[in-house]
Structure 1
Amino acid sequence: MRATQEDFDKVMQVVREQIIRTLTSKPTSLELFKTKVYALNYSEILKLRQTERMHQEETLAAPVLELREKLKPELLELIKQQRLNRLCEGTLFRKISSRRRQDKLWYCRLSPNHKVLHYGDVEDGLESPPIESLQEKIPVADIKTLLIGKDCPHMREKGAGKQNKDVLELAFTITYDMEEYCLNFIAPTRYEFCLWTDGLNVLMGKEMTSERTKSDLDILLSMEIKLRLLDLESIPIPDAPPVIPQPPSNFNFCYDFSHIEQ
C-alpha cells in the first residue's frame, strides 16, 4: 500500500510539531532534546491538540468573553495601584550630561499621598535614599505632558541622532509648570520604562499604554477566568444562556402562612 502525498504531509506536520514543542521547553542539551522528541509521540500530540482546542473553545465562548469584559475594570485598577506603588518605591536613574557621560546617578520617587515627585542626585552605591534626602520637588498637579523616545528634549539635542536605539527606547520626559520646564529620564530597563510611563499616565488621569500593561492584563484575566471556571471543568459552556420559561398562569400553588402568624 503506497503512501499518498496527504499521508506524507501529515507525518511532516507531526514531526514539525514535535520539534517546535520540544524547542519551546528549551532543552539544555542535545540528549535532552532527543529524549523529549521521542517522548512526544503521535498520541501525545493528539492529546495536547484536544486539550488546547477545548481550552480555546472555552475561552472564546460568549459567556467567557462577557466575563472577561466585566473583569477588566477591576484588574486594570489593580495594575494601576501596582504602578503607583512602584513609583512610591522609586528608581535609580542614570544622568546623561552634554558630553554624554553616564557616570552620574539620580533618584526619583513619588510621595505616599501621590501628590509630589521627589528627586535629586545620589552617590554611587546608594540604591534607595530616603524621601527626605531628595531636595527637588515637582507637584503632580503641575505635570502637563509625558513625552517618550525621540520626542524627548534630551533625545533631540545635538548629537542625539547617534544615540543607541536601546537608549532611545528607554527615554521619557515630563513637562511641568505651564510646560516651561522638563525633567528628563533614561530608564534602567524596558520594564522600568513601562512602569514609570504607566504610573505617570495614571497620575495625569490617562490610560496606561505600555506593552507591559497588555501583558499583565492578559495574565491576570487568564488566571482569574481559570479560577472562576474551576467548578465547570469538563462541562461544556453554551454559546447563549438558556431560554427563560414563561411565568405560570397563577400562583395558587403557594401556601399562605399569614393566618399562622395571626
Structure 2
Amino acid sequence: MLHYGDVEENAENPPIETLQEKIPVADIKGLLMGKDCPHMKENKGKQNKQDLDLAFSITYDVEEYSLNFIAPSRTDFCLWTDGLSVLLGREMSSEAMRSELEILLSMEIKLRLLDLENIPIPDSAPVVPKPPSNYNFCYDFSQTEQ
C-alpha cells in the first residue's frame, strides 16, 4: 500500500495513522514524468523549467486518477521515480542510478586489475584480538627525568 495525504511542508515523517488515503501498489498503472504529467499539461506555459524537471505522477486504476507531485530536489525525484519504477517492475532510469552504477563498476574493474597472484585470500575474517587491559595511551610528562 502507498499511503498519502496532505501534510505541512515542514513536517517530518508523519505517522502512518495521519495519512488517511491509500493506494494498493497493484493498482498503480503508470509513472509519468516531466511534461507528460497531467498537472504539468494543465498549467502549460505557467510552469518553470525546474518544476517541469522535478514533476512526476502516479496513475492508478480507480477511474484513471493520478497523484501528482513536484519533488523538492533532484535527489528526491530520482529516489521516488527509481523506487516506483522498481515496484512496477521497470528499469531504473535516473541519472543518480547511472552515476552509482558507474562507481560500482569502476570499483569492480579496479579490484579485478589488482595484482593478487600468489596472495591467499582467507575465506573467513581474522580473529578480533582481546581489548587492552587499560586505555591509558598517553605518556605522563609530569615526572621529570633525572
Would you call these one fold, judging by a TM-score over 0.5? yes
How much does 1:123 deviate?
Answer: 2.6
Q: Which has the larger radius of gyration?
A: 1
Answering whether residue 65 of structure 2 is matched by residue 181 of structure 1, we say yes
Instruction: Give the % identical residues.
Output: 75
- The structure 1 residue matched to 2:89, chosen from 205, 224, 248, is 205
RMSD: 1.8
Q: Which has the higher helix share?
A: 1
Answering whether residue 116 of structure 2 is matched by residue 224 of structure 1, we say no
Q: Which runs of 4+ in 1 moved over 6 A?
A: none
- Cα distance in 2 for residues equivalent to 1:190 and 1:160: 21
Answering whether residue 23 of structure 2 is matched by residue 150 of structure 1, we say no
- Cα distance in 1 for residues equivalent to 2:82 and 2:75: 11
How much does 1:133 deviate?
Answer: 1.9
How much does 1:210 deviate?
Answer: 1.3
Correspondences of 1:24-63 after superposition (within 5 Å): none
- Cα distance in 1 for residues equivalent to 2:111 and 2:16: 40
Give the number of aligned pairs: 117
How much does 1:232 deviate?
Answer: 4.4
Q: Tell me which residue corresponds to 2:4.
A: 119
Q: Secondary structure at the match of 2:22?
A: strand
How much does 1:188 deviate?
Answer: 0.6
Q: Tell me which residue corresponds to 2:124.
A: none
Q: Tell me which residue corresponds to 1:171.
A: 55
- Cα distance in 2 for residues equivalent to 1:125 and 1:197: 22
Q: What TM-score comes out, normalization by structure 2 length?
A: 0.73
How much does 1:161 deviate?
Answer: 1.5
- Cα distance in 2 for residues equivalent to 1:151 and 1:160: 11
Contact 1:155-1:161 at 8 Å conserved across structures: no
- Distance change in 2, residues 1:199/1:179 (3 Å): farther
Unaligned runs of 5+ in 2: 118-146
